[in-house]
């Protein structure tokens, strides 16, 4: 079966007309890589109809961020979707998603959105949740949506929105796809120079070291990042798995964001904490 490309809402409605069974949707900003394909494969396994959206959402970029230079590789993305046997790709123009310009009513992402990524990127999650809400409505009848664990805070907020606003779509979380040396795959990795690419793996090393240092995972991660001169930490935080305050013992989540050259990268991992935390 071939992949149908829908550029407008009407195209999308036609493409989805007559489908039967379970519909799954993978929301992306394009520049697709193996992180995205792992979501598509999971959707292909679980669903009768797989829809991928490709949309670089201006609403989630701050004025000083990389909207204009965000990679746009639609032809390559479409070929990849076809090879993953995606049924429908919805790749709308900005005016198709926001026909009246910037929406006057948006999703308020609540208090978690001011922390971690949100502290560095004010308004980011308002933009993310607004477009996720719109796209889940535009893909009428989607029963399940797939998100990557790399964007851990995003998952927490999307789940919360779907629950609080009764959107009625299941969320399936897919583990982070990594390069052989551990760097999380990201559309932004292509900006890295060879030296920056080498430095960038410090994020993964920091998370791995933290996972191996249950007595003080946060300090262990910081030490690795501080030792890498090419990496400028934005935040490194230990939290509970639900992003509440870190427990003194038990399961935690370590989240990191850092600038490598002009490229901002994020990653996270589960950690186990075995002794009370010292005062960080
Ligand atoms: P993006 O195109 O960056 O907005 O990402 C679209 C979806 O792909 C989101 O659910 C991301 O969490 C997911 N994703 C991005 N990178 C990865 C990765 N390395 N592994 C797994 N999922 C990913």
Band (175; pLDDT cuts 50, 70, 90): very high
- Identify the bridge partners of residue 218 per DSSP, sorted by sequence position: none
Q: Are 278 and 213 in contact (CB under 8 A)?
A: no
| Separation of CA 54 and ligand 1 centre (Å) | 12
- Distance from the Cα of residue 198 to its chain's centroid: 23
Nearest atom, ligand 1, residue 176 CA: 20
Q: What is the pLDDT of residues 208-244, one digit of tens each?
A: 999 999 999 999 999 999 999 999 999 999 999 999 9
Active-site hit among 14, 36, 124, 140 = 36
Ligand 1: which residue has its CA nearest to atom 5?
28
Burial readout 122-151 (b: 16 or more C-beta within 10 A, e: otherwise): ebbbbbbbbbbbbbbebbeebbbbbbbbbb
β-pair partners for 48: none
- Count helices and strands (H / E) in the chain: 10, 9
- Could you give the 3-state DSSP secondary structure of residue 78? helix
Residue range 261-265: mean pLDDT, rounded:
96
Position in ligand 1 atom list of the atom nearest CA 187: 3
pTM above 0.75, yes or no: yes
Which residues have C-beta within 8 Å of that of residue 273, sequence separation ≥ 6? 214, 217, 238, 246, 247, 248, 249, 250, 251, 252
pLDDT tens digit sequence for 193-210: 999 999 999 999 999 999
Look up 137 and say whether it is catalytic: no
């Amino acid at each position: 079966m071939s992949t149908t490309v829908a550029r407008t809402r009407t195209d999308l409605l036609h493409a989805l007309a007559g489908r039967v069974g379970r519909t799954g949707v993978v929301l992306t900003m394009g520049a697709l890589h193996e992180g995205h394909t792992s979501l598509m494969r999971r959707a292909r396994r679980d669903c009768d109809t797989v829809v991928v959206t490709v949309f670089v959402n201006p609403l989630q970029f701050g004025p000083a961020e990389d909207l204009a230079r965000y990679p746009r590789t639609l032809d390559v993305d479409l070929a990849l979707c076809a090879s993953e046997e995606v049924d429908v790709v919805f790749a709308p123009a900005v005016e198709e998603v926001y026909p009246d310009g910037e929406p006057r009513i948006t999703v308020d992402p609540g208090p978690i959105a001011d922390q971690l990524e949100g502290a560095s990127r004010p308004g980011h999650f308002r933009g993310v949740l607004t477009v996720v809400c719109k796209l889940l409505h535009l893909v009428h009848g989607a029963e399940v949506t797939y998100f990557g664990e790399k964007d851990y805070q995003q998952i927490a907020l999307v789940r919360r929105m779907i629950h609080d606003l009764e959107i009625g779509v299941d969320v399936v979380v897919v583990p982070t796809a990594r390069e052989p040396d551990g760097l999380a795959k990201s559309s932004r990795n292509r900006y890295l120079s060879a030296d920056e690419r080498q430095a960038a793996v410090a994020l993964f090393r920091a998370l791995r070291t933290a996972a191996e240092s249950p007595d003080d995972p946060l300090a262990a991660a910081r030490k690795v990042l501080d030792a890498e001169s090419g990496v400028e930490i934005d935040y490194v935080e230990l939290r509970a798995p639900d992003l509440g305050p870190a427990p003194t013992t038990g399961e935690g989540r370590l989240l990191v964001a850092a600038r490598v050259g002009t490229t901002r990268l994020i990653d996270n991992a589960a950690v186990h904490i075995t002794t009370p935390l010292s005062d960080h």
